Amino acid sequence: MEPAIGFELGPTVGLLQEGAIMRVGSSMTEVVGGTPIVQLRKVVPADAADVFVKLEWFNPTGSYKDRMALAMIEEAERRGDLRPGMSVLEYTAGSTGSSLAYVCAAKGYHFMVVTSDAFAAEKLATMAALGADLTIVPSVDGKITPDLTPRMIETARELASDPDVYWTDQLNNADSLVGYHEVGVELLEQLEQPIDVFCCAVGTAGMATGVKNALEEGGSAARVVIFEPDSSPVITTGEAGVNSVEGIGIGLMPPLLDLDRFDEARAISEAEAFAMARRLAAEEGLLAGGSSGLNVVGAIELARELGPGHTVVTVACDTGLKYLAGGLYTR
């Protein structure tokens, strides 16, 4: 997907210029991607590298997961694995489910989702509004415990025994890389200066891997650094824990993650991530979720190490509007 028409990439990277017009799509599935980039000005120290954030909430459901959902559905259609009249199934914390619900609604598929009361009520409501049938796996005190994702997967596996059900199985589905590859392509087109580091938090590892592929193919020498919450540092220490940052820190090693391909993995403070989400809203006017806050904390850490004259790029995964009822902005 090409960057949106009307995004002129100069001193005001990613900002709509006067008279600019967004592209026109013939279907809701045609307006995924082409998201803008902004440079953070207030939360980044003066002695640090430039930090840019790609605003993925410009996608239809306010999340970068729209890219993954569309790719998984269209690649399955292309192979003939998903056909008219079939149902689509997935387990999800809510953003992937909202994205799949939107794509399925636009394409006419029935969507079944396995989720949990550990996740934002706004996400559950969004999936229901888009026509999804929800199966709720109960959590322990609303926490994302190490056993929650495996229990959700097992519930999905039982539902997937129906031959008329296509299970997207996001943790094991390499089709997601097709969608996330476009993020890297867009970054190379949008930014005039070389990217020194791209960094992002890991859930399925689809975003990190897809962008890594695109940067390599585009001839970029950028380092790619991955993050996880320090409350569940499976990648960095092998220890799973109770995590409150939705969409990442899933309590197991993502099957799509090939650690040898990445330059570094870091555990980032969950408390600092939530505090940064609030700072981004209050100081930059950037309303995003906890995983976006975590990305920015890690990006600033890298920017301090690199110093001025360098460029660090990360992603605002989704809109903070998904978390207003959960207390993220009132702590």
| Spatial CA neighbour of 90 closest among 101, 74, 105 | 101
Per DSSP, what are the bridge partners of residue 266? 227
**Residues 173, 167: Cα–Cα separation, whole Å:** 10
Q: Catalytic: which of 98, 232, 291, 292?
A: 291
How far CA 330 is from CA of 42, 124, 282, in Å, comes to 21, 21, 12
Output the 3-class SS for the chain.
CCCCCCECCCCCCCCECCCCCCCCCCCHHHCCCCCCEEECCCCCCCCCCEEEEEEHHHCCCCECHHHHHHHHHHHHHHHCCCCCCCEEEEECCCHHHHHHHHHHHHHCCEEEEEEECCCCHHHHHHHHHCCCEEEEECCECCEECCCHHHHHHHHHHHHCCCCCEEECCHHHCCCHHHHHHHHHHHHHHHCCCCCCEEEEECCCCHHHHHHHHHHHHCCCCCEEEEEEECCCCHHHHCCCCCECCCCCCCCCCCCCCCHHHCCEEEEECHHHHHHHHHHHHHHHCCCECHHHHHHHHHHHHHHHHHCCCCEEEEEECEEHHHHHHHCCCCC
Catalytic residue among 54, 63, 65, 176: 65
54 is catalytic: no
User: Is 26 marked active-site?
Assistant: no
Residues labelled as active-site residues: 65, 291
